[in-house]
Structure 1
Amino acid sequence: MNTSWLLELDRSRSSYLLLASLAGLGVAAGVLYRVGLIGWILELLGIVVRGSIRKGFRLWERWLAWASWPLFVALAVGFLFMGSVASDSLPGLRIGCGLAPLFMGTIACLAYMFIDIERYEVERGHKAIHNPLKGQTQATHLARYGAQVRVPLLVAATVAIIGGFALLNQGLYDIVGRRWFAVGDGTEQPAYIDFLAYAITKLLGLLDVLDLAKSRHWLRAEFIRPAAWPASTLLAAFKAFFSLVLLQQVFASLRQGKLLAETIADFWSPHVPIHERARNALAQFGGGAIGPLLVSLRSVPSLTKEQRDQLPLVLATIGPSTIPALVRHLHDPQEHVRAVAVAALGLLHAVDTVPLLAGLSQDPCALVRQSVAQALGTLGSARTATSGVARARVLRLGLRDHAKRFWLARRSRRATPEPPRDPVELSVETLEAAFADDSAAVRTQAVQSMGRIGPPASTAVHGLIGRLKDNDETVRCEAAEALSLVGGSAEVTVTALIELLQDASGPVKAAAARALGSLNKAASPAISTLVPLLQDREESVRTAAAEAIARVGPLNEAATDTLAEGLESLDTVVRAQTAEALGTIGAAADEAAPALVEAMKDENDEVRAKAVEALGKIGETAAEAAVPGLVRALNDQDNRVSALAAEALGQMGESENGVVAALIGSLEHLNPQVRGNAAEAIGNLGDAAAGARRALEQAAQDEDSAVRGQAIRALGAIGVPTSATVQVILAGLEDADPLVRAAALESVGRWGNPGEAVVNDLIPLLDDANDGVKIEAILVLPKLAGATPAVLAGLCRRLLEDDSTSVQTHAALALGRLGPAARAAGEALLQAARTGDVSVREKAMRAITLIQPPETIEALAAGLRDACGDIRIVASAGWMRAAVIPKEAVPDLVEALRDPEVQVRANAAHALGRLDTLPRDAIPLLVERTTDADEGVRLNAATALKLAPADLVGAVMQNLLTDSNSRIRLIAAGSLLATGLANPQADLALVEALGDPAPESARPRSNWSNPSPQTTAHFSKSWKIAKAERGHPIYETP
């Protein structure tokens, strides 16, 4: 039968028509683009898509933000199961149960897209997670939900959408859509599994493949197909949504990769601002940045020291997730990559990698070996390795019922390899071997790291003593310092350092002297060798020797005679240097006071000045011998000697009346420096100089402002003021010189209760033009007037409006010292804690934690997100002190468990441990924190995990039974035994921890439940100790 067509073309003309149509469409699209129509449509489409994403996120935040991805999956599967088992008589239930997971999955996907966009904005620097310092908007949603909205939630949402779509189609089929679908041969009623297969095959485009297999007679499979436009429309919408999600993921991956590549390229830029921006941004990419960054390092021909120092810090800032990637690059063919990977592992406190690092100690590259030595010093100083606790000790205590388990344990130990070596022991051994390295830089770093490890490295004392004879000067210096840190035999160490004092190098002698000084009284045999160094030609050696003598102990007779000889030297320089050294020694040189008094008669001005200054530094112990000479020196022909004599007399304490009379006379000296020092000295004598009051009142009118200031300050120090004194000091508040006004404020501050009128005169000084005066007013007014409205208003004004950071910080500190009485200042402190300079924000945060105003919760939440680690530490400590922890603060505390600052992590874990119920999203992070390098973090994390369900943390607590900290072992044992289940390993750990003589084991932190009957029978007393303990935070506000 012939068919009539409106237009019938042959093959050639059909091809031309197709190409012409495409060309016409292209031209039309160009015209529409030029007139702006396409741009307008795309912009409108973008607005719709962005609005939909934003609306979807809001819906998810309102209805589903409480659900973690496993809970989300469980809820969706529950709806699907309910709908799939519903009888054919309830098709409406199927539709409802299908729409519910479909809705859940849709808004969860949109929430993922929303958070992913905000994450990208943070990586670009347009937003900031913590307190923005460069004008960025704060990424509040990412900070709150970033850890929750990740790929697992997207996968869970996909499952919910596919399952819900299948159930919806089944319900529609049962009610109105039997003609919408073609169901195979139509002989059987389709089940839910058929519609699920329909959704998956259509989504993945598998139907064409199956049709091809059927046409080739390879496979005959029957599936549901759309047969009418309603089913096709639903299917098109279903596929369109997934296409949108897929495109978003593709574009996100592309822009992420491009952005990472650009950031890495910028990191190597020679331009400092570009480099700094890239360095700060790299941490935002997480562990995915490690591989590309280290690969880019291979193309760098050489690294500067600054780059070698910064790159490990960047990698360590990303966090422990980088450790596996760093370990993989330890044997990279490029030496810079190996060196950076080693250094980063050290900064991450990756104690488990010590054996791997020790294996690199023979690397052919000296730079790598140096990085290994540095990392081992860091890891060895952490001392977080599991201690080798002898489990058999419990058996010797008579636990017969454990005999069988002991026998089984011995058999299992025969079948297992030897336990790994203690990381500290291995680090010390490796570093000691590095003492013989060919590279001086490696030897220097090895010696330095040994000192950093401290007492656990005492076995290396003899190796360090050998390095005191190293050819390299720096190695000898570092060896001297390390010897003073590792401990060991004090006699051996002191003998070696005394010998090093004879070294020809000045820096080496100075290092040996400093090391001896750090040993304190144990180094007293070195005094006779240190004394000659007081006359060394290098000032650094003389200073180090004098400071060492001051710490080691008083001069003996022989040393005093030697110094006296120095004061009698024919060389003027030697005499002056000897006197100066005695002043540096201070009170320990009191036996040399008579010699110094004689030196005050020297014909040389410099010698006399140094002698006078030294007597002042020795202080009251030299008063009996020094005072007469110092009084005479007030009239020395050299003004500098007279001024120093006045100053020294003020350090002699209560003495005879002749001193005060002499100083009164010096108040009329021609030289203002002498007059000022005399006034200051009178003030230092305190009440004993009350007879100088009239003379000081006259000196307060001196033409020299420095003299006026010292006189007014002294008037406040010599006792209760008279009415005349009060008038003089109050007049000083209006002096033209700010130093005088500040001195007058200081004097008024000593009066105790000066009266309301005086306080009213002081308040305007909070707005003085001079910062020093304002600071003094800030210090004085709260002490005199308390938290009056006028004082609080003035302090808040200085806190928010002053242009001096120092004034602002003092205002914040003053408010904090007022305590709860300053609650009205909460709003000002909150503003300062959010927007001020870093030091102002820190002090304001401290004040808030002390005052606890209504704004405390808001301030501490902002503090946990601050870019400055010190502020986050203060804020986290504030949560430990808060009376209650509101639920709004919990997400920030959970996020703080990831903080790079140790104290923040420890304080956040402690605060979470105070909750009645532990949030489920905190449990994985707390579990991760139980492997933290810091004991305080592990301890607080273990304590908080006691609130978690036992089935979720049982394995973690079991692992903690072998922790190096006995308190952590106690907490783990108590948690396991609280379940009521027999746990022999927990019994053993409990007994060993309670028998640990370490101080921390004597005061465990956890609250115990009843132990097992076996342990109770043998160790009831230990259990009473454990049950009586009480918790306390590891870290407080610094």
Structure 2
Amino acid sequence: MMTTADKDILEQLERLRNPDSSVKRDAIEFLTGIRDERVIYPLIKALQDEDQGVQQAAIDALIAYKDEVTVYNVLPLLFNDRVAVRNMAQEILEKIGETGIDLLGEHIKVKDEDVKKMISDILGKLNRPEVIPLLLEMLKDPNLNVRSSAAEGLGRIGDSTVMESLINLLNDDEWVAFFAVVALGRIGNKRSIRPLTGLIKSGNIELQIASIEAIGQIGGDKAIESLLDSLDSLRPESLNAAIGSILRLTHGNIEKLIERFGNDRAFDYLADAVNDIDIDESEVKRDFILAFSLITNPKSSVYILKLISDTDTDTDNAAIVQVTMDALTKLKDEELLIKSLQEENSARVLVSIRVLGMLKSGMAIQALKALFIDSDRDIQIEILHALSRIGGKDSTEFLVDMLSYGEGHVRSAAARGLGELTDTSSVESMLNRLEEEEYSDVVGEIVNALVKIEERHKDPSIIKGLTSNLSNSKSYVREAVLKAIGILGHLNSAELIKHMVSDENWRVRRACIETLSQLSAPGLLDVLITAGSDEKDEVRMLVAQLTGRYSKEKSIDILINLLSDRNDRIIYKAIEGLARLKAIKAIPYLIKLSQKGDLLIQKMSIWALGELSAREAEDTLKLAFNHKDEEIRDAAIDAYRKIRAVSNVII
């Protein structure tokens, strides 16, 4: 009796005869994965359908079988008169051939040379050690395409036991030798270097370049020495390939090249290679830059700048830009860098600006100032940074002038640069700028610069000027100045700051508290008491954070008051502070908080009761053992255990 599964299969096989391609595709998709030999032949027949969608569906279905029976049935298609069918058969066998290696092996000596070539291709792409004997046998085939394919496949497998057989092919037809060279490079055994080096001296350019690249793949000191030994015998086309391989192997450290051939000849080698080799990859570019930096030649910097020309400095190319800067800094060609400032290439200009700054090039100041005028904002900022590195009177004066430039980012960079210079001659101008500056970030940079100068020179005019700005009409100036006074530790300003705790701006009020705390100012707790009722959550949060550091009765009272704050986060912080201060006085309040309200506050309160060893909270904690929330239950158990442990009672 026919089963339902049999009926389904027969129904789908019947649908494969339907002239509608979509029906046939649906039938094949249904049959895909069904392990039934009745399906294989219809699928093979479908490979010859005129519709490519049907063909592809049949390919996928046959690949899904991946068994010896399928290999057996697909193999004959390699002999088909239609090229497209042969190609489809090869594609399938490359995916499933490992299940029928013996079957494939029976065809390695067929008369049809195209089929032998396809069999060799398939065996090589299986990438299985079991096919090595078959491919070695095919190396002896009279057809050079078959031998080439077999060599390629052995290289893909990468087993060094076949190395001698491949070396023997180096004296074969040039086409076969080429694939043998590539295979030896893939295998990567250092014993191949010597025969490959001998091949470099052949007259065939393709073989020379292939051998050079293979030796480069193998790598190691022997490979480098081999390439260096070969340079004198190479034609220009292959010479540049050898230089490229040497650079890759040495990562740009060409000291051996310089030692053997001298600076001038080494430079010529690199210069010729740069003009001939495609240097799009960052690693290759880096290797050339490092190599040029090791050569004492006045044109080394020229080529380094040329290499950086097509680099997009706006993308993630920071590493290559840094390598270039380090190389140019080492070569110290200030005149070339100054000349490069006039170029239109943005990468060269950017790198030149930065390197001139790193070299502290006083002779570049005028050129940098001239470039500033017509440059975009980013380059202007780079120029200001370079001038801050160079230093000196001219640089300082220019940066001071830029404090009033029309673009805020530039003013900010100028202030930052003056902070790096720490020149007291800029103090008055920066203090005056605080009266006019409209952007808070620029004010911040100005104040930071003044702090740096004060820390270095102890200039009394700075503290005086900062203190006078505590009454500045702009709140962001008052805030920045307060922070600066805290950093500088100017305790004499404390009384004046205390009078600012009721400032109209909450950021200023918060900065007052932070600064008084930094100064460890007397009377701070009284300020915190007042600030504990501030209208802004941010101020009260700071009060909660700071109060927990002071182990005084007033501190505890402040934190207890904050337990009724409208902001849960402030309550959490107050609970944490009370636990840290071991505030026994807070236990009744914590018990109350642990019984209702926000679950996180309940949990935090329970934790604090445990930290305070609150025996009077035991009954409350026992009730919490049955709380609906698991975290509350766990917290209550932990707290209870802590309390009982203090009493040496084990539960």
Aligned length: 414
Q: How do 1:48-447 residues align onto structure 2 when only pairs under 5 Å count?
A: none
* C-alpha contact 1:682 1:714 (8 A) present in aligned 2: yes
Q: Deviations over 1:782-818 (max 9, x none)?
A: 34353446423256447xx5353xx455333212212
Higher relative contact order (CA 8 A, sep 6+): 1
Instruction: Quote how far apart the aligned CAs of 1:892 are.
Output: 0.8
The answer to whether residue 300 in structure 2 is matched with residue 860 in structure 1 is yes
Residue among 186, 191, 201 paired with 1:767: 201
CA change 1:865–1:759 in 2 (3 A) is closer
* C-alpha contact 1:679 1:696 (8 A) present in aligned 2: yes
Partner of 1:791 in structure 2?
226
Instruction: Quote how far apart the aligned CAs of 1:913 are.
Output: 2.3
Q: Deviations over 1:1013-1033 (max 9, x none)?
A: 56263489999xxxxxxxxxx
CA change 1:630–1:713 in 2 (3 A) is same
Aligned equivalents of 2:404, 2:62: Cα separation in 1: 64
The answer to whether residue 133 in structure 2 is matched with residue 700 in structure 1 is no
* C-alpha contact 1:597 1:629 (8 A) present in aligned 2: yes
Aligned equivalents of 1:772, 1:811: Cα separation in 2: 13
Aligned equivalents of 2:119, 2:18: Cα separation in 1: 32
Residue among 739, 743, 749 paired with 2:185: 749
Aligned equivalents of 1:635, 1:933: Cα separation in 2: 70
Aligned equivalents of 2:108, 2:51: Cα separation in 1: 21
SS at 1:899's partner residue? coil
* C-alpha contact 1:833 1:841 (8 A) present in aligned 2: no
Instruction: Quote how far apart the aligned CAs of 1:852 are.
Output: 5.3
The answer to whether residue 420 in structure 2 is matched with residue 984 in structure 1 is no
User: TM-score of the superposition, structure 1-length normalised?
Assistant: 0.34
Give the letter aligned to residue 882 of structure 1.
A
Residue among 902, 919, 925 paired with 2:362: 919
The answer to whether residue 124 in structure 2 is matched with residue 683 in structure 1 is yes
Instruction: Quote how far apart the aligned CAs of 1:600 are.
Output: 4.9
Q: How do 1:339-738 residues align onto structure 2 when only pairs under 5 Å count?
A: 570=19, 600-602=43-45, 605=48, 607=50, 623-625=63-65, 629=70, 632-636=73-77, 637-638=80-81, 640=83, 641-650=85-94, 652=95, 657-686=98-127, 689-722=128-161, 725-738=162-175
Residue among 850, 855, 858 paired with 2:290: 850
The answer to whether residue 331 in structure 2 is matched with residue 893 in structure 1 is no
Give the letter aligned to residue 984 of structure 1.
L
Partner of 1:822 in structure 2?
254
Aligned equivalents of 1:602, 1:994: Cα separation in 2: 79
Aligned equivalents of 1:939, 1:682: Cα separation in 2: 61
CA change 1:731–1:693 in 2 (3 A) is same
Aligned equivalents of 2:240, 2:32: Cα separation in 1: 43
Give the letter aligned to residue 802 of structure 1.
R
Aligned equivalents of 1:772, 1:808: Cα separation in 2: 12
Give the letter aligned to residue 99 of structure 2.
G
Give the letter aligned to residue 698 of structure 1.
E
Aligned equivalents of 1:629, 1:1022: Cα separation in 2: 80
Aligned equivalents of 2:312, 2:200: Cα separation in 1: 30
Q: Deviations over 1:464-483 (max 9, x none)?
A: xxxxxxxxxxxxxxxxxxxx
Q: Deviations over 1:503-558 (max 9, x none)?
A: xxxxxxxxxxxxxxxxxxxxxxxxxxxxxxxxxxxxxxxxxxxxxxxxxxxxxxxx
* C-alpha contact 1:809 1:840 (8 A) present in aligned 2: yes
Instruction: Quote how far apart the aligned CAs of 1:893 are.
Output: 0.9
* C-alpha contact 1:822 1:851 (8 A) present in aligned 2: yes
* C-alpha contact 1:913 1:943 (8 A) present in aligned 2: yes
SS at 1:855's partner residue? coil
* C-alpha contact 2:139 2:147 (8 A) present in aligned 1: yes
Aligned equivalents of 2:133, 2:252: Cα separation in 1: 43
Q: Which sections of structure 1, spanning at least 5 residues, go unmatched? A: 1-563, 580-588, 996-1005, 1024-1038
CA change 1:987–1:833 in 2 (3 A) is farther
Tell me how large the CA RMSD over aligned residues is: 5.0
Percent sequence identity over aligned pairs: 15
Residue among 235, 256, 260 paired with 1:802: 235
Q: Deviations over 1:545-594 (max 9, x none)?
A: xxxxxxxxxxxxxxxxxxx9x9988488x999x99xxxxxxxxx999977
CA change 1:1022–1:933 in 2 (3 A) is farther
Q: Deviations over 1:446-504 (max 9, x none)?
A: xxxxxxxxxxxxxxxxxxxxxxxxxxxxxxxxxxxxxxxxxxxxxxxxxxxxxxxxxxx
Residue among 930, 940, 964 paired with 2:382: 940
SS at 2:44's partner residue? coil
* C-alpha contact 1:823 1:852 (8 A) present in aligned 2: no
* C-alpha contact 2:388 2:418 (8 A) present in aligned 1: no
SS at 1:944's partner residue? helix
**Worse-matched range after superposition: 1008-1017 or 892-901:** 1008-1017
CA change 1:896–1:709 in 2 (3 A) is same
Instruction: Quote how far apart the aligned CAs of 1:735 are.
Output: 1.3
* C-alpha contact 1:812 1:840 (8 A) present in aligned 2: no
Give the letter aligned to residue 330 of structure 2.
I
Partner of 1:907 in structure 2?
351
Aligned equivalents of 1:1020, 1:678: Cα separation in 2: 83
The answer to whether residue 401 in structure 2 is matched with residue 955 in structure 1 is yes
* C-alpha contact 1:745 1:777 (8 A) present in aligned 2: yes
* C-alpha contact 1:896 1:904 (8 A) present in aligned 2: yes
CA change 1:991–1:702 in 2 (3 A) is same
Q: Which sections of structure 2, spanning at least 5 residues, go unmatched? A: 1-12, 455-461, 467-477, 489-651
User: TM-score of the superposition, structure 2-length normalised?
Assistant: 0.52
Q: Deviations over 1:49-87 (max 9, x none)?
A: xxxxxxxxxxxxxxxxxxxxxxxxxxxxxxxxxxxxxxx
Aligned equivalents of 2:381, 2:170: Cα separation in 1: 55
CA change 1:914–1:718 in 2 (3 A) is same
Give the letter aligned to residue 748 of structure 1.
L
* C-alpha contact 1:634 1:645 (8 A) present in aligned 2: yes
* C-alpha contact 1:680 1:714 (8 A) present in aligned 2: yes
* C-alpha contact 1:601 1:608 (8 A) present in aligned 2: no
Instruction: Quote how far apart the aligned CAs of 1:824 are.
Output: 3.1
Aligned equivalents of 1:952, 1:691: Cα separation in 2: 76
CA change 1:716–1:941 in 2 (3 A) is same
